[in-house]
Amino acid sequence: MIIWADGVESHYFAPRLRGLCPCASCKDEMTGVRIILPIHISDDLEFRKIEIVGQYALQFEWSDGHHTGIYTFEYLRELAEEK
Amino acid sequence: MRGDRGMAFWNKESKGGGATSEQVLDVLKNVQDPDLRKDIVTLGFIRNLKVESGKVSFDLNLTTPACPVKDQMRDQAVALVKALPGVEDVEIKMTSEVRQAPQLDKTALAGVRNIVAVGSGKGGVGKSTIAVNIAAALAQAGARVGLLDGDIYGPTTPIMLGVEQPPRNVGNRMIPQEAAGLKFMSMGLLVKSDQPLIWRGPMAHKALQQCLFDTDWGELDYLMVDLPPGTGDVHLTLAQAVPLTGAVIVSTPQDVGLRISMKTLRMFQQTRVPILGIVENMSYYVCPHCNSQDYIFGHGGGTRAAEQLGIPFLGEVPLDLAIRTQSDVGQPIVIAQPDAASARTLRSIAEKVAAQVSIRNFEAPVLEVE
């Protein structure tokens, strides 16, 4: 869950967030086409570690070992509002 | 750092008629910090207030020793307190305590209060000259300052500061060199000056991380990082590895220089690094014979860009032969010729940077992960 500075609360489902990873091995850098989709991720996937990147993003380590995705705050907010 | 902080020190007793502590604090509430837009009592700047038989004394504890409006605030405070009935003498001690940027205390650089990047879109705009002089001016004002030369491919600060010996190692940490009142570290200290570094991105990333985290900076109010031109590995590493208090953009007045600087600016915006302002370098040329000013690269480009983007314009630095010659002999002009016009301009820019840092630290959102 993220509590934003404007008071909005966003909840995230770990497997969906993992499936929407913005890193270059999950989403083609040139075409923007997704390589990994939420349907590829098993439902029991969990967060292992969360780190702040500078002051603009979060980086997650998942129980499948993947950790290269940098989720900007804009992207996280967007994902929460899509739901 | 809120107003209630100094409470314990306030002497509530008033002896021998005169004014009371409450009255003194009341009138001091009329002194505003123009940058933080709050009064100096609410900001908790008043410390150790003593009121004794007509004699009032206190410390005015600002957020930076390089405060551009320091004298103005002191004079205003003195005048207001003196005007109180029964007050004969006012003594103000000016002190300062630079606030730490949020999150920085949780990194390996916990002793550093603020990290400020200096960047530009293209090379040759005088970024290092500006960075060295801002750092030296802040140190001159009494701040504890470090300078990291992040331009790993073309490090110039060792020349500008006149120290080229490699740093000592203690354990696995490097002891930064000291010059011009500041601590500094540069790839130029680690590699022979005529040897090029031919590295791919990952090496650049690692080198910067080592110079940043493996250097024993100790306690610093400001760590300035002189970036290489453009928007490359070093920039991204820095924006990701540490919470930067902000970035200063150096540009020339020429349109093309400015337009490229916009890219660097956008990169900082995308990584949410606050822009502290634009410095326009090589703004005009002062003829050494007739003192006339020539705007050889055009005029007003930096001011216009700052206005359009809604960011502070920090100042115009002239093309001054003395800045160049002082850099070449390893003595920043703010120290070697403190009264020169360009040194005064650079000092004023440093003060504006310090003021912007204070503003950011009061405004910055706090990120927490649980």
Pairwise CA distance, residues B179 & B289, whole Å: 33
User: B206: which residues sit within 8 A by CB, 6+ positions away?
Assistant: none
The strand pair at B246-251 and B115-119 is best described as parallel
The strand pair at A9-10 and A47-53 is best described as unpaired
Q: Give helix then strand counts, H and E, for chain B.
A: 12, 16
CATH number for the domain harbouring residue B60? 3.30.300.130
Q: Which residue has the tokens 């860009």?
A: B305
Which of A36-45, B249-258, B349-358 is the most confident on average?
Answer: B349-358
* Structural domain that includes position B254: 104-363
Q: Which residues from B are below 8 Å from A70, CB to CB? A: 240
End residue of a domain, out of B38, B64, B96: B96
Q: Tell me if B368 is assigned to some domain.
A: no
Q: Report pLDDT for B274.
A: 92
Nearest by CB: B369 against A52, A54, A73: A52
User: B291: which residues sit within 8 A by CB, 6+ positions away?
Assistant: none
| Mean pLDDT of the A54-72 span | 92
Find the residue in A nearest to B370 (Cα). A50
**Contact flag A55-B273 (C-beta cutoff 8 Å):** yes
Nearest to B244 by CA among B107, B117, B108: B117
pLDDT digits (tens, 9 = 90+) for B281-306: 988 888 878 888 888 888 888 888 88
Do B141 and B19 share a structural domain? no
Question: Would you call A23 an interface residue with chain B, using a CB distance cutoff of 8 Å?
Answer: no
Q: Is A23 exposed, middle or buried (0-12, 13-18, 19+ CB in 10 A)?
A: middle
End residue of a domain, out of B96, B116, B141: B96
Q: Which residues from A are below 8 Å from B239, CB to CB? A: 54, 56
User: A38: which residues sit within 8 A by CB, 6+ positions away?
Assistant: A15, A16, A18, A19, A20
Domain count, chain B: 2
End residue of a domain, out of B64, B80, B96: B96
Do B322 and B207 share a structural domain? yes
Nearest by CB: A52 against B270, B271, B367: B367
| Mean pLDDT of the B220-233 span | 90
| Mean pLDDT of the B216-244 span | 90
pLDDT digits (tens, 9 = 90+) for B108-161: 888 999 999 999 888 888 999 999 999 999 999 999 999 999 888 788 899 999
B215: β partners: B174
Q: Tell me if B369 is assigned to some domain.
A: no
| Mean pLDDT of the A63-71 span | 93
- Mapping DSSP onto H, E and C, the string for B86-100 reads CCCEEEEEEEECCCC
Do B117 and B17 share a structural domain? no
The structural domains of chain A, ordered by start, are 12-82 (3.30.2020.30)
Q: How many CB atoms lie under 10 A from the CB of residue B366?
A: 7
Do B89 and B154 share a structural domain? no
Pairwise CA distance, residues B129 & B328, whole Å: 10
Q: Is B286 exposed, middle or buried (0-12, 13-18, 19+ CB in 10 A)?
A: middle
Q: Which residues from B are below 8 Å from A72, CB to CB? A: 270
Do B159 and B38 share a structural domain? no
Residue B243 main-chain phi, psi, to 5 deg: -75, 105
- Mapping DSSP onto H, E and C, the string for A59-73 reads EEEECCCCCCCEEEH
**Contact flag A54-B241 (C-beta cutoff 8 Å):** yes
Start-to-end C-alpha separation, chain B: 24
DSSP state of A34: B
Nearest by CB: B272 against A5, A55, A70: A55
Q: Residue B6: is its pLDDT beyond 80?
A: no
Q: Residue B311: is its pLDDT beyond 80?
A: yes
Do B124 and B15 share a structural domain? no
**Contact flag A58-B244 (C-beta cutoff 8 Å):** no
User: What's the length of chain B?
Assistant: 370
Do B196 and B52 share a structural domain? no
Do B325 and B227 share a structural domain? yes
Q: How many CB atoms lie under 10 A from the CB of residue B234?
A: 24
Do B119 and B138 share a structural domain? yes
Chain B residues within 8 angstroms (CB to CB) of chain A: 103, 239-244, 270-273, 365, 367, 369
Nearest to B231 by CA among B253, B262, B200: B262
Supply the mean pLDDT for chain B: 87
Do B35 and B173 share a structural domain? no
Do B109 and B80 share a structural domain? no
* Residue A23 token pair: 């890193």
B117: β partners: B225, B247
Q: Residue B344: is its pLDDT beyond 60?
A: yes
**Contact flag A54-B365 (C-beta cutoff 8 Å):** no
Pairwise CA distance, residues B221 & B113, whole Å: 5
**Contact flag A56-B271 (C-beta cutoff 8 Å):** yes
Q: Report pLDDT for B230.
A: 80
Question: Would you call A47 an interface residue with chain B, using a CB distance cutoff of 8 Å?
Answer: no
Q: Which residues from B are below 8 Å from A23, CB to CB? A: none
Do B74 and B161 share a structural domain? no
Q: Tell me if B338 is assigned to some domain.
A: yes
Nearest by CB: A54 against B239, B365, B369: B239
* Residue A39 token pair: 């349907």
Residues of chain B with pLDDT > 90, as a percent, come to 53
**Contact flag A54-B244 (C-beta cutoff 8 Å):** yes
**Contact flag A54-B273 (C-beta cutoff 8 Å):** yes
Question: Would you call A80 an interface residue with chain B, using a CB distance cutoff of 8 Å?
Answer: no
Pairwise CA distance, residues A30 & A24, whole Å: 9
